[in-house]
Amino acid sequence: MPPSIIEVDRVSKQVRDSTGVLTILHDIEFSLRAQESVAIVGASGSGKSTLLSILAGLDVPTSGTVRLGGTDLFTLDEDARAAVRAQKLGFVFQSFQLLGNLTALENVMLPLELLGRGDARAQATEMLGRVGLGERLGHYPRVLSGGEQQRVALARAFVVRPAVLLADEPTGSLDFATGETVMQLIFALNREAGTTLVLVTHDRGIAACCDRQLRIEAGRLVPEAAQLVESVGAA
């Protein structure tokens, strides 16, 4: 069995507002194997995106920790966490997060250049061809469709061959047919690269394509045994 690539150890997150302390996540604990695909599901406001941000080291838990490839993210300062993200993580967001002043090729080259890779142009060109955008290298995001922008984002995420891909509602801004095409690409690229996929989604069909699902309710992780009982009952 492949070793764990992510270990989440009793992660909680609290924030303070005008009414007092709000707990967003309660003692979340799980591990993910290398090359596993996992969907994080739950209602809006349940804490899914907060959990994803903590997995990436972008947000800091109030208590608990996350180990990525054996490295405790929260014993590191922000600069060191950023270095880990650059080397080990890829990101795909609902809103694409492309840089509007860069072409498709330049957007995909950027993470490679930040890592000091001398083959950035060749690798980015190859990856854009892989996602069907070989004829769009010089196009800026504003002239690309939503589906094309998300495919550029996929190319940018996978071009560094990350150990883990974090995807937050990657089809949320797309129509059904375009979203289906994008998800097929995500799963295909994930298999080819041997990446661990962590996917936040509301779409049950997409979630069912993953190896397993983690459901968050009101900031708590629903035990997988309880999910199985509910699934059998629904059937």
Q: Are strands 4-17 and 63-68 parallel, antiparallel or unpaired?
A: antiparallel
The per-residue pLDDT for range 49-78, each reduced to its tens digit, is 999 999 999 999 999 999 999 999 999 999
At residue 232, the pLDDT reads 37
The model's confidence at residue 5, banded by pLDDT at 50, 70 and 90, is very high
Order across the sheet with 196-200: list the strands. 89-93, 164-168, 196-200, 37-41, 212-217, 220-221
DSSP E strands, 95-190 = 164-168
Place of tokens 């922000």: 78
Distance CA 175, CA 147 (A): 9
The per-residue pLDDT for range 164-215, each reduced to its tens digit, is 999 999 888 888 999 899 999 999 999 999 999 999 998 889 999 999 999 9
List, in sequence order, every residue forming a beta bridge with 63; answer none if it has no partner.
12
Superfamily of domain 4-234 in CATH is P-loop containing nucleotide triphosphate hydrolases (3.40.50.300)
Give alpha helix (H) positions in 38-145.
48-55, 78-88, 104-114, 120-130
Distance CA 126, CA 155 (A): 9
The per-residue pLDDT for range 129-147, each reduced to its tens digit, is 999 999 999 999 999 999 9
Do 59 and 53 touch, CB atoms closer than 8 A? yes
DSSP string, 59-70: S--SEEEEEETT
At residue 19, the pLDDT reads 86
Do 80 and 86 touch, CB atoms closer than 8 A? no
Pick the more confident residue, 232 or 113.
113
Distance CA 148, CA 41 (A): 26
Do 20 and 57 touch, CB atoms closer than 8 A? no
Domain extents in the chain: 4-234
| Secondary structure string (H, E, C) spanning 20-38 | EEEEEEEEEEEEEECCCEE
Do 166 and 198 touch, CB atoms closer than 8 A? yes
The model's confidence at residue 12, banded by pLDDT at 50, 70 and 90, is very high
